[in-house]
C-alpha cells in the first residue's frame, strides 16, 4: 500500500519534467554548474570509503586552506576530491579540454591549478599530509579503498589520539562550520 503511494508520487513528479527532446541542450557552463554542486558523487563515495575504513573526519572544513573536502585536524590530514575536468587531471580522459572558447577555459583551469597548489602548500606548512583523490579514481571502489588506506594508514600520520576531535566530529561533521581548536 505504502509502496504504491510512493511510486505514484514519483511518477507524477517525473511527468512534470519535459521530455529530453523538448528541452534546450545544456550549454557547457550549465553542465559545469551542475558538476560543481556540493556533495558530488565522487565526494560522497570518498567519504563512505573513508568511513568504512574506520576513519573520522569533518567535511568542507572552512577554516583550513582550500576548504578540504575531508579533514581530521587531530591527525593532521586533509583530502581534496577533485573533479578531473576542473582540476586538469593529467592524462585523464575526463579532463579533455573544451574545443570552443579555449582561451577562457585554459585561463580558468590554469587558475584552478595554481590555487590548488597554493592550498596544498599552505596545508603542508601547517603540518598536514595532503591527498588528492581524483574523480576517476572514485569510480572503482577497490582502487579508492586502496588509495585511502595507503594514505590514511601511512606511517607519516600521527595516530588518532585526540578524543575531543572525535566527539566534535560526531556532532557537527555534516555542517561546514568553522571552529578553532
Binding site for Zn ion (CB under 5 A): 84, 89, 92, 94, 134, 136
- Residue 80 beta carbon to Zn ion: minimum distance, rounded to whole angstroms: 13
Half-sphere exposure (Cβ direction) of 28: Cα atoms closer than 13 Å: 11
- Closer to Zn ion by CB, 88 or 149: give it: 88
Angle at CA of residue 136, ends 23 and 95, nearest 5°? 65
Closer residue to Zn ion in complex, CB, 56/89 = 89
Q: Which residues pair with 105 in a beta bridge?
A: none
The CB-of-158 to Zn ion minimum distance in angstroms stands at 30
Nearest residue (CB) to Zn ion, 64 versus 148: 148
Least distance from Zn ion to the Cβ atom of residue 139, Å: 9
Looking at beta carbons only, is 70 or 81 nearer to Zn ion?
A: 81
CB of 41 to Zn ion, least distance (A): 14
Distances in Å between the alpha carbon of 39 and those of 34, 56, 60, 97, 174?
Answer: 11, 17, 9, 24, 11
Amino acid at each position: 500500500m505504502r509502496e504504491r503511494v510512493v511510486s505514484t508520487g514519483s511518477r507524477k513528479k517525473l511527468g512534470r519534467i519535459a521530455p529530453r527532446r523538448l528541452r534546450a541542450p545544456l550549454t557547457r557552463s550549465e553542465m559545469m554548474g551542475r558538476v560543481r554542486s556540493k556533495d558530488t558523487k565522487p565526494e560522497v563515495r570518498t567519504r563512505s570509503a573513508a568511513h568504512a575504513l574506520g576513519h573520522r573526519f569533518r567535511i568542507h572544513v572552512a577554516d583550513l586552506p582550500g576548504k578540504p573536502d575531508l579533514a581530521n585536524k587531530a591527525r593532521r590530514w586533509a583530502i581534496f576530491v577533485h573533479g578531473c575536468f576542473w582540476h586538469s587531471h593529467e592524462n585523464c580522459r575526463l579532463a579533455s579540454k573544451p574545443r570552443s572558447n579555449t582561451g577562457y577555459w585554459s585561463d580558468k583551469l590554469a587558475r584552478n591549478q595554481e590555487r590548488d597548489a597554493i592550498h596544498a602548500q599552505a596545508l603542508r606548512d601547517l603540518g598536514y599530509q595532503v591527498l588528492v583523490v581524483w574523480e576517476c579514481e572514485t569510480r572503482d571502489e577497490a582502487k579508492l579503498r586502496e588509495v585511502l588506506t595507503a594514505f590514511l594508514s601511512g606511517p607519516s600520520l600521527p595516530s588518532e589520539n585526540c578524543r575531543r576531535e572525535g566527539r566534535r566530529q560526531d556532532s557537527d561533521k555534516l555542517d561546514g562550520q568553522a571552529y578553532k581548536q
